[in-house]
Amino acid sequence: MDEEKKLTKNKNILFGIISVIILCALLFPLYWAFITSLKTEQEIFLNPPTFYPHVLNTKSYAAQVETGDFNMFRSFANSFVISIGATFIAVLLAVPASYGIAKYHFKGRKVMLLSFLVTQMLPVSVLLTPMFIMFKNIHVYNTWIAAVLADATIGIPFSVLILKNYFSSIPKDLEEAAYLDGCNKFTAFIRILIPIAKPGVMVCAIFSFLYAWGDLAYGMTFILDQERRPITAGIFNFMGQYGTKWSYLTAFAVVTIIPVALIFIFMQKYIVSGMTSGAVKG
Amino acid sequence: MKKIKNMFRYENVGILFVFPAFLYMLVFVGYPIIRNIILSFQDVGAGNLVRGTKNFILFENYAELFGDSVFRISLFNTLKYTVLCLIFQFMIGFMLALFFNQRFTLAKPVRGILLVPWMIPVTVTALMFKLLFATDIGVINYILRSLHLIQKNIEWLTTPGTAMFALICANVWIGIPFNMILISTGLTTIPKELYESASIDGANKVQTFFNITLPLLKPTIESVLILGFIYTFKVYDLVYVMTSGGPVNSTHMLSTYSYKLSFEMFKYSKGSAVANVLLAILLVVGIFYIKITTQGEEE
């Protein structure tokens, strides 16, 4: 294959054009949702459809702040609190755990590693009812805490498995040098190893956040009151109530995507490494 | 001898680091799994879920499932959905990976942006595809009409056969980036010299693909397909938001049916039994995955 050789100028342009066409085709659903959110309800029902808003309508965004019955910014804040909480727990627990698994060959290491692997594969269906009962019993049902606790269970195994690879790649000499300088195991871990594994920690934080941000099942099942539900559950509710108010629905969707888009724009390199190292190396 | 003794002491410190995370998972995942299995052998409904006596009825819930036509439909749907999604997202992802593996200026930036569908909350994806497949205002119907492929708008999401098609489209859209990026990474691990020597030997592109690329990519392909199977098989949000299992149960999956039984019909025990069937299938596939990934693990 000729990947190694530089492509000729014409081929470069041709492939560039093809790639942009692929990009437009695949991202069309996103574009469509975005422009629908900026159309008036009448324009949405026009036939043939308009491929950009002829009359710019930002009411769908404004209306949801003004009218109290469905405040998407409150849902947004709920999602934010829940996701940050879940991320915090996941990173706090996964960083030391992955270090332990990567650097120490203690008894039961394999069992623990396996159990993290298995939990990554679990369907939510298995956990919903027992968690529901548990959260009722410890009186966190219908609060953010329930969703935080449940969402963290997605982030922890993922983070442990990713970070394990980062920690194993750090040479032992470095740690030993730290001991010579008077560090003990815990200070060496905090002062030397964590800073080196920082990109890995970022990957874990980002993915734990994204998992929690995208969660619907936990938020919907463990939180009853709309005022406390995450934004995904808000969208689902809204679809049931105003099934065809597409300008509102798509505005909701666009707001939900904003944090994802920001993460993508500013932290893209972590995304690729998270998607690949998490899957291939297990 | 002394050294070995120290080694043991030293290595066991590791447990202290792992223990908090392990305990957390034990409480919030391990215990619920056991609880769910117990639940599936009981007769728990709305009345005795949190408090009250729970009677053991052993395998009655499972026995009931075999006579339940919705359960059979769900099981069949889940398999059909998973296999079809895997085929399409794998093929498209593979082709894109090969295409973007070529060194043109836009290759890396465009491939990066193509990851976006994978990151978007599934609820939003479901909403977007509901809009695309909408009967009156949907773009898909509009395009088909313009091409004169249909005269009347298709009611995609409210007709049994087509609803499944719409679900598969949405899921393939989510899965393409995942397949693409994993295969891309796999491709970069193949040594360039192999291709060079193959071209010296006069092999053409098709030959090098089947004799070098595919065999060397086998581990990647295996993990992509198995992981894809696991992620697709436990699909929940997408189906729940797009069709909720309808029309007339025709798109129910094991996960959505389990949810419906538990949280809409309050037959918690029966819902747990369905979830356990789902879990059992995933575990079988998961064992394969673990076998493959841990092969090269042991140092």
Give the per-residue pLDDT at A52: 86
Q: List the domains of chain B with CATH numbers.
A: 69-295 (1.10.3720.10)
Q: Report the C-alpha gap between A137 and A65 in whole angstroms.
A: 35
Higher-pLDDT residue of B294 and B258 is B258
Of A101, A149, A235, the CB nearest to B127: A235
Higher-pLDDT residue of B290 and B253 is B253
Q: Which residue of A lies nearest to B220 if distances are taken between CA atoms?
A: A280
pLDDT at B11 over 80: no
Q: Give the 3-state DSSP-derived string for chain B, with helices as H, strands as E and coil as C.
A: CHHHHHHHHHHHHHHHHHHHHHHHHHHHHHHHHHHHHHHHCECCCCCCCCCCCCCECCCHHHHHHHCCHHHHHHHHHHHHHHHHHHHHHHHHHHHHHHHHCCCCCCHHHHHHHCCHHHHCCHHHHHHHHHHHCCCCCCHHHHHHHHCCCCCCCCCHHHCHHHHHHHHHHHHHHHHHHHHHHHHHHHHHCCCHHHHHHHHHCCCCHHHHHHHHHHHHCHHHHHHHHHHHHHHHHCCCHHHHHHCCCCCCCCCCCHHHHHHHHHHHCCCHHHHHHHHHHHHHHHHHHHHHHHHHHHHCCCC
Cross-chain Cβ contact A272/B181 below 8 Å: yes
Cβ atoms of B73 and B250 closer than 8 Å: yes
Nearest to B119 by CA among B164, B173, B184: B173
Of A32, A160, A268, the CB nearest to B131: A32
Chosen for mutation from B19, B38, B128 (greatest number of chain A CBs closer than 10 Å) is B128
A 10 A CB-CB count for A52 gives 9
Q: Domain residues of chain A, as ranges?
A: 9-63, 71-280
Q: Which residue of B lies nearest to A219 if distances are taken between CA atoms?
A: B237
Give the per-residue pLDDT at A281: 38
Residue B269, phi then psi, degrees to nearest 5:
-65, -40
Q: Report the C-alpha gap between A77 and B124 in whole angstroms.
A: 17
Q: Which residue of A lies nearest to B143 if distances are taken between CA atoms?
A: A48
pLDDT band at B298 (very low <50, low <70, confident <90, very high): very low
Of B17, B224, B237, the CB nearest to A96: B17
Cβ atoms of A206 and A267 closer than 8 Å: yes
Q: Report the C-alpha gap between A144 and A155 in whole angstroms.
A: 17
Of A126, A150, A280, the CB nearest to B36: A126
Give the per-residue pLDDT at B57: 86
Q: Report the C-alpha gap between A240 and A227 in whole angstroms.
A: 17
Residue A38, phi then psi, degrees to nearest 5:
-105, 5
Residue A9, phi then psi, degrees to nearest 5:
-60, -45
Q: What is the pLDDT of residues B108-130, one digit of tens each?
A: 899 999 999 999 999 999 999 99
State both tokens at B196.
């060079």
CATH topology of domain A71-280: MetI-like fold (1.10.3720)
Q: Which residues contact B185 (CB under 8 A, 6 or more apart)?
A: A276, A280, B220
Matching residue, tokens 């193959």: B198
Q: What is the pLDDT of residues B145-193, one digit of tens each?
A: 999 998 889 999 999 889 999 999 999 999 999 999 999 989 988 888 8
pLDDT band at B30 (very low <50, low <70, confident <90, very high): very high
Work out the minimum CA distance from B120 to partner chain A, whole angstroms.
7
Of B29, B96, B104, the CB nearest to A12: B104
Least confident of B215-219, B228-232, B269-273, B288-292: B288-292
Cross-chain Cβ contact A280/B186 below 8 Å: yes
Work out the minimum CA distance from B114 to partner chain A, whole angstroms.
7
Nearest to A79 by CA among A198, A236, A172, A214: A214
Of A22, A27, A106, the CB nearest to B116: A27
Nearest to A60 by CA among A76, A77, A92, A38: A38
**Which residues in chain A have their CB less than 8 angstroms from residue B196's CB?**
4
Chosen for mutation from A30, A128, A165 (greatest number of chain B CBs closer than 10 Å) is A128
Q: What is the pLDDT of residues B221-256, one digit of tens each?
A: 988 999 899 999 999 999 999 999 989 899 999 999
Q: Which residue of A lies nearest to B103 if distances are taken between CA atoms?
A: A3
Give the per-residue pLDDT at A25: 95
| pLDDT tens digit at each of 282 positions of chain A | 444 456 788 889 999 999 999 999 999 999 999 999 999 888 988 878 888 888 888 888 887 776 655 677 888 999 999 999 999 999 999 999 999 998 888 888 888 988 998 888 899 999 999 999 999 999 999 999 999 999 999 999 999 988 988 888 888 888 888 888 888 878 888 888 888 888 889 999 999 999 999 999 999 999 999 889 999 998 898 888 776 789 888 998 999 999 999 999 988 888 887 877 655 433
ipTM: 0.90
Work out the minimum CA distance from B259 to partner chain A, whole angstroms.
7
DSSP secondary structure code for residue A67 in this structure: S
pLDDT at B295 over 70: no
Q: Report the C-alpha gap between B171 and B147 in whole angstroms.
A: 25
Give the per-residue pLDDT at A277: 67
Q: Report the C-alpha gap between B102 and A15 in whole angstroms.
A: 9
**Which residues in chain B have their CB less than 8 angstroms from residue A253's CB?**
124, 127-128
Work out the minimum CA distance from B229 to partner chain A, whole angstroms.
10
Work out the minimum CA distance from B170 to partner chain A, whole angstroms.
10
Kindly state the average pLDDT of the residues B204-225.
89
Question: How many Cα atoms are found within 13 Å in the side-chain-facing hemisphere of A190?
Answer: 5
